[in-house]
Structure 1
Amino acid sequence: MSTPRFLQLPPAVRRTTVRTPRGSFAVLEALPVGEPERHPALLVPGFTGSKEDFLGVLQTLTGAGRRVLALDMRGQHDSPGCDDPSRYLLPELGADVAEILVALGPEPVHLVGHSFGGLVTREAVLAEPAMVASYTLMASGPAAIDGPSAQKAAALRDALTGALSMEQIWQIKLGPDARAAGWAEEIIEFLRHRYLNNCTTGLVTMAGELLSAPDRTADLAKAADDTDLPIMVLYGEDDDAWLPETQAAMSARLEAARVVIPGAAHSPAWEAPETTAHALTDFWNSAERR
């Protein structure tokens, strides 16, 4: 079967693997023309997401002369998983990200965490602040998710711990929802493949973490103050996961830069890629001038 158009990689992007003492992780790696001249960047997706969520921004982000990687976390899509639930707890996933930062070094890395990936990368920042050149929370929040998104995560967790397989959940609920949303058939097929490729143990445990994460904003604010770490909170004006006012309040507590992306909801890198890429590039360049 030929590769769907939306998954065909730009010339500067390739699929590869980052190997660390904690395991191997699938990435999309985007390289600039010529030698990279700036700090690299690492983009971490959310719950049920993958590195492909950032396809729309990778090429643009290399334009300033930096290497940019988008990650599949442990058990996500193309990254190997395991059946040990403890390896999917937030501190453990954060430790994975911290090892990847070390592997990308020796210079500090611009780190971006989308949605649940924001909770994961926060753990990495708290553990290894010296390895982070700047930190962006993209459509993420200060603590456990609530509202309709929490209900969806809980329903998936409960179905997987019950009698249903991921294939059955796709056939009964997720596939029909994707078609009702009007997605193109090639996108629906990719989403199905990605769901089925996820480690079930990982999905169940990560859902539990998403639903119970503590508020560590004060810890992050102190770490940023101690290390002079630039932080940005970036989200869509219509975000329906963590509400915009929740993210704005988190930004104020962090004394962080705040960017609201017009015309975007919970996935700015997909829904408004050029605007999101330019906001990230401006923030990263500013952080390097400090």
Structure 2
Amino acid sequence: MDQLHPTYAPFASRRVTVRGVDYAFTDTGNSGFPVLLLHGWPDDRSIWRHQLPYLQSQGFRVISVDWIGHGESAIPTDTRRYRISELGADTIALLDTLQLDRVHLIAHDYGATVSWETVANHPTRFSSYCALSVGHTVEILQDIATGHLLRYLWLILHGMDRASRYWYLSNEAQRFRHKFAAHPDAERILEKLTHGGDTTFWTIWEKANPSYDAIYRHFFTEQRQKRITVPTLGLYSREDEWMTEGQLARSYKHVDASWRYESMRGGHWVQLERPDEVNAILGSWLAQVEPC
């Protein structure tokens, strides 16, 4: 089992069974309105270690979760269990288990990919939504189709487990160190990848959610009709090494509610790199959308 970043230690870890699998999470447990934090690749819930105490100090009850296959949560062997639709169902089941009627949702990277769909499918469970770095899936596909394919070749690489690890780890992990230069936890992630035992976390998102499946669901099923009907914030960091700005900036096209867009300096893991600035934006956003 992975150990969370040491600075996350003051916050007790809890576990709950959700749709047959064990999820690890942190819950500040106070009586404020709940905020749910969802991480992405290749992280765990300790990526929010600067936001959790800040939001708690603002009076919110803060819950951060390890996705299955990550951190201290279970590691199902069935790849289908990691599909976006399955993780969305887990999100709602978690809220039910914790008896939370509605939450503010803040999500990063693949956590945001899951959340765009989850919020569209279950709008009554969310008072607001904030997506960091990653926009609506349709807009990512649009970028790929209109000249940004090379920027997203990692989507294909990450779907090939052995090839992906070899590419990152060859030549004494030079490519890894280059691509993750802005990640404050890069050495910890490298240690998990090389000596941490189970490496499901490294490629499971792409293996479970190939591009052709995203195309099919968002263009040929009822998912294409689903809209975001809660207040939504997009937060992009301009030195992002993995995502273009357009895919997030254009995501307003899928929102039938108030939309706010912010861009700032920083790399893909901006909540770790520039936590005070991110916290100020999140605090301002939550004050703006505070439930009655």
Same fold by TM (over 0.5)? yes
1:174 and 1:109, CA in 2 relative to 1: closer, same or farther beyond 3 A?
farther
Shift of 1:51: 1.0
Q: Which residue of 1 aligns with 2:108?
A: 114
Q: 2:28 touches 2:61 (CA, 8 Å); kept in 1?
A: yes
- Select between 261-270 and 132-141 the one with higher mean Cα deviation: 261-270
Q: Which of residues 55, 78, 86 is equivalent to 1:84?
A: 78
Q: 1:29 touches 1:70 (CA, 8 Å); kept in 2?
A: yes
Describe the SS at the equivalent of 1:16. Answer: strand
Q: 2:18 touches 2:94 (CA, 8 Å); kept in 1?
A: yes
1:63 and 1:174, CA in 2 relative to 1: closer, same or farther beyond 3 A?
farther
Q: Which residue of 1 aligns with 2:45?
A: 51
Deviation sequence 1:207-256 (CA, Å, 0-9, x none): 452644345896453x51xxxx2211111133343322231111254254
Distance 2:92 2:27 in 1: 18
Distance 2:199 2:18 in 1: 20
Shift of 1:103: 2.4
Identical pairs, percent: 19
**Residue 14 in 1 paired to residue 12 in 2?**
yes
Q: Which of residues 262, 286, 289 is equivalent to 1:287?
A: 289
Amino acid at match of 1:36: S
1:237 and 1:105, CA in 2 relative to 1: closer, same or farther beyond 3 A?
farther
Unaligned runs of 5+ in 1: none
Amino acid at match of 1:21: R
Q: 2:238 touches 2:265 (CA, 8 Å); kept in 1?
A: yes
Unaligned runs of 5+ in 2: none
- Select between 208-217 and 237-246 the one with higher mean Cα deviation: 208-217
Q: Which residue of 2 aligns with 1:277?
A: 279
Describe the SS at the equivalent of 1:175. Answer: helix
Q: Aligned ranges for residues 184-223 of structure 1 at < 5 Å?
A: 187-195=185-193, 196=196, 200=200, 203-204=203-204, 206-207=206-207, 209=209, 211-212=211-212, 213-214=214-215, 215=218, 219-221=225-227, 223=228
Q: How many residues align?
A: 273
**Residue 260 in 1 paired to residue 262 in 2?**
yes
Describe the SS at the equivalent of 2:97. Answer: helix
Q: Which residue of 1 aligns with 2:31?
A: 36
Describe the SS at the equivalent of 1:157. Answer: coil
Distance 2:236 2:210 in 1: 18
Distance 2:128 2:172 in 1: 35
Shift of 1:199: 5.3
Distance 1:82 1:285 in 2: 38
Amino acid at match of 1:280: L
1:153 and 1:197, CA in 2 relative to 1: closer, same or farther beyond 3 A?
farther
Distance 2:180 2:238 in 1: 22
1:126 and 1:142, CA in 2 relative to 1: closer, same or farther beyond 3 A?
closer
Q: 1:43 touches 1:113 (CA, 8 Å); kept in 2?
A: yes
Distance 2:239 2:208 in 1: 25
Q: 1:74 touches 1:80 (CA, 8 Å); kept in 2?
A: yes
State the TM-score, normalizing by the size of structure 2: 0.78
Deviation sequence 1:64-96 (CA, Å, 0-9, x none): 111212221111232112121211111011111
Q: 1:238 touches 1:244 (CA, 8 Å); kept in 2?
A: no
Q: Which residue of 2 aligns with 1:128?
A: 122
1:18 and 1:272, CA in 2 relative to 1: closer, same or farther beyond 3 A?
farther
Distance 1:174 1:112 in 2: 35
Deviation sequence 1:135-158 (CA, Å, 0-9, x none): 111111222464455322322322
1:78 and 1:174, CA in 2 relative to 1: closer, same or farther beyond 3 A?
farther
Q: 2:158 touches 2:202 (CA, 8 Å); kept in 1?
A: no
Describe the SS at the equivalent of 2:260. Answer: strand
Amino acid at match of 1:116: Y
Shift of 1:62: 0.9
- Select between 84-93 and 150-159 the one with higher mean Cα deviation: 150-159
Distance 1:88 1:7 in 2: 27
Distance 2:268 2:180 in 1: 17
Describe the SS at the equivalent of 1:53. Answer: helix
